[in-house]
Amino acid sequence: MKALRIILIVFLGVLFLGTIGFLVKKSMKQPVVFETENPFISSVSRKTVATGSVVPRKEIEIKPQVSGIIEDVYVEAGDKVGKGDIIAKVKIIPDMVNLNSAESRVNRARISFSDSKLDFDRKQGLFDKQVISYEEYQKAKLSYDSSKEELEAAENNLELVKNGVTKKSKNVTNTLIRSTIDGMILDVPVKVGNSVIQSNTFNDGTTIASVADMTDMIFEGKVDETEVGKIKEGMHIMLTIGAIEGESYDAYLQYISPKGKEENGAIQFDIKADVKLKADQFIRAGYSANADIVLEKVDSVMVIHEALLKFENDSAFVEIELQEPQQFEKRFVETGISDGVNIEIKKGLELEDKIKGKESKPEVKK
């Protein structure tokens, strides 16, 4: 019984000491271990991104030269046309005032022609008999020729008012709407039966079709005022189109607007760039695109991850590991350009230096 009591006391003592040791060990703070990184050689570029779209350089709106009603449409969106190809035909609805005036002119011309013809025929006979002089005969002939020409002009004018074309020039008519350039039909906003208005000094006219050269495309975008001073015409642009995955296109800055526009509280400047299309690849007009413009670039320079930098007042520094592990000292550095991930180091570091990084977390045993 006495031995059992001794064993129990020893067991409780060991248990107590073990608990005390465990609690002490647990309460002791584990030393913090930091990862280290070395500088490395790489290229760094600073870019700005311009958003916009890819559009044809030449997009023409075809408008009629006469007012009327669409009688036929010969093309649809997506068709290729050449310069001079017929796109649509317009049927003229004559103005009643102009029509009445043209008919009245024809009637007066016929009366004048009949009278001058009778007078000419009479004087022709008298001249043949040598009764009148040549001068008098010549005046009668001139009057006859003039009245004949006036009648033809009046009849042609009536045909133009009614049909938009004369009998002598059936192939040359304003009622046939033709393409003015080689290209592709982008849109035909009218249908057969629609009324259209001619293009004149007071009205732009109704658009019959939009035609564009789809082999000559440009990028139109906007750049913020904080970046516009760093770009110039001729700069290389890498273009990515949202609708075409995995493809990029070379472009070259062609135009920078001299005047900015306020949008959402910021001043934006319009830019345009020539797009170099790839062979046998079709890009639709209006695709949204992003343009990466390289503002600055350096090759084969010493860089570190920008997250390693720390700042004090207006100076940047890193912490360098000493010969003793996990012992660090502050070292100020001179930085260059940054791409948001890596930053150029001009002075203050060597490739062999170990830079203090993030805290190393112990692995969790499963």
Any idea which architecture 96-163 has in CATH?
Orthogonal Bundle (1.10)
Q: What is the pTM of this model?
A: 0.62
Spatial contact of 293 and 239, defined as CB atoms under 8 Å apart: no
Spatial contact of 91 and 174, defined as CB atoms under 8 Å apart: no
Q: Do domains 48-56+214-297 and 62-92+175-212 have the same CATH topology?
A: no
The strand pairing partners of 305, in sequence order, are 342
Domain ranges of the chain: 34-44+299-359, 48-56+214-297, 62-92+175-212, 96-163
pLDDT of res. 362: 56
pLDDT along the chain (366 residues), means of 10: 69 70 60 80 86 92 88 92 91 72 83 85 80 82 87 79 62 76 93 87 88 92 88 89 87 92 90 87 89 86 88 86 81 87 88 82 53
CATH fold of 48-56+214-297 reads: Elongation Factor Tu (Ef-tu); domain 3 (2.40.30)
Domain covering 62-92+175-212 assigned CATH 3.30.750.80 in the classification: no
pLDDT of res. 30: 59
pLDDT of res. 210: 94
Residue the block writes with tokens 């009148």:
132
pLDDT of res. 270: 93
Distance, in Å, from the CA atom of 59 to the CA atom of 284, rounded to the nearest integer, reads 13
CATH fold of 34-44+299-359 reads: 2.40.420
pLDDT of res. 166: 62
